[in-house]
A and B are shown apart, each in its own frame.
Chain A
Amino acid sequence: MDGHSILVVEDNPDDQVLAVRALKSASESSPVIVLEDGQAALDFLFGNNSSQPCKNLDSLGVVLLDVKLPRVGGLEVLKCIRSSPLTNWLPVVMVTSSDEPADLLEAYRLGANSFITKPINYREFTEQMTLLARYWLVVNKVPKTGAVRSY
């Protein structure tokens, strides 16, 4: 599927394994990058130089961001992504365990592209991941990072 990679920011090792398994079964060709917390995600996205787009962004198709993360929370990461012109185009799907209305509102206020709750039933979760990968990696178009760099 187009070779775009998926960034999964998820602190729980069980959920990491289950997410990767579900995404692999949905789209075998797409590389899945797993990071454990918000700080790691920011380092990955922005690298050491905040004025140059990080090369990690080159092939990134979508970010699955858990709301509840240690140290730097998911909503905070979202805020950073949206406030930098280097990353504000990045599709971000917020993933959470609960449908806490406050989180939902806040996520959209900060500019999330999508918000999903992880269902208990793993089959449903796999279906969700399949839909998600198909939409964001195949249907949806994102600008090339080179184009972003030029403005």
Chain B
Amino acid sequence: MMGPWRYWRLKTKLLFLTLFTSALGIALVCAALIFVENQNYREQLNSIISSLDHIEIIQQACIYDQQGNVMASLASLDKRECPPVNRQLDIGFVEEVYRLLMPVTLDNETVGQLFLTSHLEVLYGHIRTFVFLATGIGAVILVALVFLALKLQRIVSEPILTLSQTAERIAQDHDYSIRAPVSGTDELGRLGHAFNEMIGTIQQQNRRIVDSRNSLERTVEARTSELSMANRELEAFSYSVSHDLRQPLRAVEGFGQALEEDCGEQLNETGKDYLRRIRAASVRMAGLIDGLLILSRVSRQPIESQTIDLSQLLQEITDELKDIGDDVPSEVHIQQGIEVVGDSRMLRVAFQNLLANAWKYSAHEEERVIEVSARKKGRWIAIEVTDNGVGFDMRYIDKLFVAFNRLHTPSEFGGTGIGLATVYRVVRRHHGEISATSKVGEGASFVVKLPVLGDGD
């Protein structure tokens, strides 16, 4: 439906449509009536003229004198009597006929009366023709108007229909490259433009989302491959550390021992002392390597969660400590029935470190007392390990769980500085927390909080 009207406003179009169809309807009806009336008039003229010849429409005619006596009468078929005129006569339309009574005047003087009765057939015929024609013409005009209105309404409805079909197709196919055809600059045209612009924006945004998702995927892929490469390297590194770094230490320690055994007599006391120090240093270094390996292992190994009888595990660790032993009388109280969920190897490493620390730092006491207790608090279980050892200065709490930081000199207490860092790593990997409190000379207390459900990574 192209045409100059596509630049009209929608309001104008609707107004035009309504006015145009109604006006056209009225005009057509008027034209039809004028034509019919014109025809009728011609027929009437004809009929008047012919009525003079065809008197049969007059049913009865009577002429009365002044006194009402019938002076003359004419009657068609039914030979009806003239009605007495002095009686009140019904005139006008009576039943199937039209009656007329009029005075007969001569020189302004009434000399008698004329009575006429006429058929109504002609009148009925006219009315029938008129009704028939009007209905017919009206129906034809109505059909024509409906057809026209249908044609014209497309001007308004077509763009809406196209727009809605486009919207449906886009919604169905998710194809945002589809555009609605837009014609004209009316409200619908503007709507179409706005719709297309909106779809364009969505398409652009979709493209941007896809682009950024792709780039994100690429980044994640790259990072993952970097990470797994780093992991592999780390694994190879710690494998190499565990094999290759140890070997020279074994050589240092072994040949030191061999030297002492085979050539001991040739060394003086100072020489033997140096040799002992060399061997002790290599043993310490081996301890450091072991600690680092354990730390790296608890960092990279996957967690295999299971329910663990922690009380029993702690008892085993305590027995091992007692076996290595020292001369300090020791009391270790472990609360029975402590159950946690986590990786048993890692938790063993963690609590081995905590108990070994408690053991080590209480070695200078007259009697060693170590206590392990647990209590549940909501989703958490808190396990507390306390000792009556030397404790530490709370000023340095920040350094406690950092690898290679020590709060005691090697001459006071030996150690690698890796143990608590390992404990911290294990606890963090179990999504737990660790805290410590102490006073110098009054022992230390470590609290490990683990989630009850054990949602380790």
Contacts and interface: CB of A to CB of B under 8 A. Distances in A.
A18 B243 contact: no
Contact of A125 (B242, B248, B249, B254): B254
Interface stretch (A33-41, A54-62, A96-104): A96-104
A118 B243 CA distance: 10
B251 interface: yes
A123 interface: yes
A120 B290 CA distance: 11
A144 B251 CA distance: 37
A14 B243 contact: no
B253 interface: yes
A99 B249 CA distance: 16
A38 B286 CA distance: 27
A68 B253 CA distance: 21
B255 A18 contact: yes
A70 B248 CA distance: 17
A118 B246 CA distance: 9
Contact of A15 (B242, B251, B282, B293): B251
Given A18-B258, A21-B258, A98-B293, A122 B253 contact: yes
B137 interface: no
A43 to B, nearest CB: 24
Contact of B247 (A12, A21, A100, A123): A12
Given A18-B255, A18-B258, A98-B293, A122 B242 contact: no
Interface string A107-126: 00000000000101111010
Given A21-B258, A97-B243, A14 B251 contact: yes
B258 A120 contact: no
Contact of A98 (B246, B258, B282, B283): B246
Interface in B236-251: 239, 242-244, 246-251
Contacts of A118: 246, 250
Given A21-B258, A98-B293, A121 B253 contact: yes
A98 B242 contact: yes
Q: Looking at chain B's contact residues, is the secondary structure mostly helix, strand, loop, or mixed?
A: helix
B166 interface: no
Interface residues of A, number: 17
Contacts of B253: 120-122
A14 B255 CA distance: 9
A125 B282 CA distance: 15
B257 interface: yes
A95 B277 CA distance: 28
A12 B286 CA distance: 18
B260 to A, nearest CB: 10
A19 to B, nearest CB: 9
B262 to A, nearest CB: 9
Contacts of B251: 12, 14-15, 18
Nearest to B248: A14
A4 to B, nearest CB: 25
Pick from A97, A98, A99, A123 the residue with the most CB of B within 10 Å: A98
B247 A14 contact: yes
Contacts of B239: 98, 100
Contact of B243 (A96, A120, A121): A96
Contact of B246 (A18, A120, A122): A120
Nearest to B250: A120
Given A120-B283, A120-B286, A122-B257, A100 B250 contact: no
A18 B255 CA distance: 8
A15 B250 contact: yes
Contact of B250 (A21, A99, A122, A123): A122
A146 B244 CA distance: 41
Nearest to A99: B242
A14 B254 contact: yes
B352 to A, nearest CB: 15
A107 B214 CA distance: 45
Interface string B292-303: 010000000000
B300 to A, nearest CB: 13
14 contacts: A12-B251, A14-B248, A14-B250, A14-B255, A96-B243, A97-B243, A97-B246, A97-B250, A98-B246, A98-B293, A120-B253, A120-B286, A122-B253, A125-B254
Shortest Cβ-Cβ A-B pairs, 4 listed? A98-B242, A14-B251, A122-B257, A122-B254
Given A14-B254, A120-B286, 7 more contacts: A12-B251, A18-B250, A18-B258, A96-B243, A99-B242, A118-B250, A121-B283
Interface of B: 239, 242-244, 246-251, 253-258, 282-283, 286, 293
Interface of A: 12, 14-15, 18, 21, 68, 96-100, 118, 120-123, 125
